[in-house]
Amino acid sequence: MSRPQLTRPGLNWDVRITDTTLRDGSHAMAHRFTEDQVRDTVRALDAAGVEVIEVAHGDGIGGSSFTYGFSRTDEMTLIAAAAEEAKRAKIAVLLVPGIGTADDLRRAHDAGATMVRVATHCTEADVSPQHFAVARELGMETAGFLMMSHRTTPEELARQARIMVDAGCQCPYVTDSAGALLMHEARARFEALVAEVGSDDTAEAWVGYHGHQNMSLGIANSVIAYESGVRCIDGSLCALGAGSGNSPTEVLGAVFDRMGISTGVDVLGLLTAAEEVVRPYLQRWPKMDRNAIVQGWAGVYSSFLLHAERAADRYKVPAHEILARCGERGLVGGQEDMIIDVALELAAERTAS
């Protein structure tokens, strides 16, 4: 099968920062974003020079459901509002095959999204080609999330990235969904993907990194990513995201600026966006508490946090024990319904003892 002829998105800077406040942050907000919050955040990020702003339900377009949590405002309304406010930035959406559909992607494109990030488990990239094909038909820029990247070897992760690139992905991502990757583990994965697709002007694709702060390594791993040839890096204002949150966009901007690495963003503008726009509407500030640290330590999908805390309250078992058991069982994104089973099992064990 011949590879699709693609034009990679041009980088105007050394590192292209994508802000995920309005998508990954949806987890921490229990998917309760309002249209005004989206508009205000997009205006602030756009003014600060952020090139890509992701907007969607935390589990991607189509994620508003009983299993993952219902959105307060229809996500297509939020995407359209974001597209209306963005003067320079691209509006991106996340699509998880099996949650979002090709029709959802077409609706998101009609609402104003010009980029899609197709997310699969790190060993299941073979479910993504049809979605990349639809995105290409629509003329959208494409990226691919290899979620829970700690759960496979660097070599296998590179093979999975190859599947995505051959299907039309312009930027495969090392996605540390659990915030579990230690620095040497992250470097090995970055180097494997860069070796597979390249990093210079003749490369087939860019390589990206999406980090979480459960082990407090999102920023450090972002620096290692750049040193390894990664050129697209994610963050969220105030770290707003699942688990203990994402690498804070405002800190990424400041750190790269101190290093003399161009991102094209205004650091003071990011700090203003974080402090004056996002912080006032935070329902909870993502933090490295016991539950979130257990997620990174045990390698548990970051979006399990609120689900586990609700189950803990309902069945009177500690959330960190639920999360640790989820890690022992190797649960992955899309298995949120199993959290209830784990909580019931722990409750039964406590009753029996």
Q: Tell me which residues are annotated as active site.
A: 27
Answer yes or no: is 36 a known binding residue: no
Answer yes or no: is 24 a known binding residue: yes
Beta strands in 176-231 (DSSP E): 208-210
Residue with tokens 């992250």: 186
CA 296, distance to chain mean position in Å, is: 15
Ranges of H-type helices in the chain: 25-28, 35-47, 75-85, 102-111, 129-138, 154-167, 183-197, 218-227, 249-258, 267-272, 290-298, 304-315, 319-329, 338-352
Distance from C-alpha of 237 to C-alpha of 56, rounded to nearest angstrom: 16
- What residues contact residue 85 under an 8 Å CB cut-off, 6+ apart? 38, 39, 42, 43, 46
Three-state DSSP class for residue 97: strand
Answer yes or no: is 301 a known binding residue: yes
Cβ atoms within 10 Å, residue 120: 26
Indicate the annotated binding residues: 23-24, 177, 210, 212, 301
Annotated binding site for substrate: 23-24, 177, 210, 301
Instruction: List the binding residues for Mn(2+).
Output: 24, 210, 212
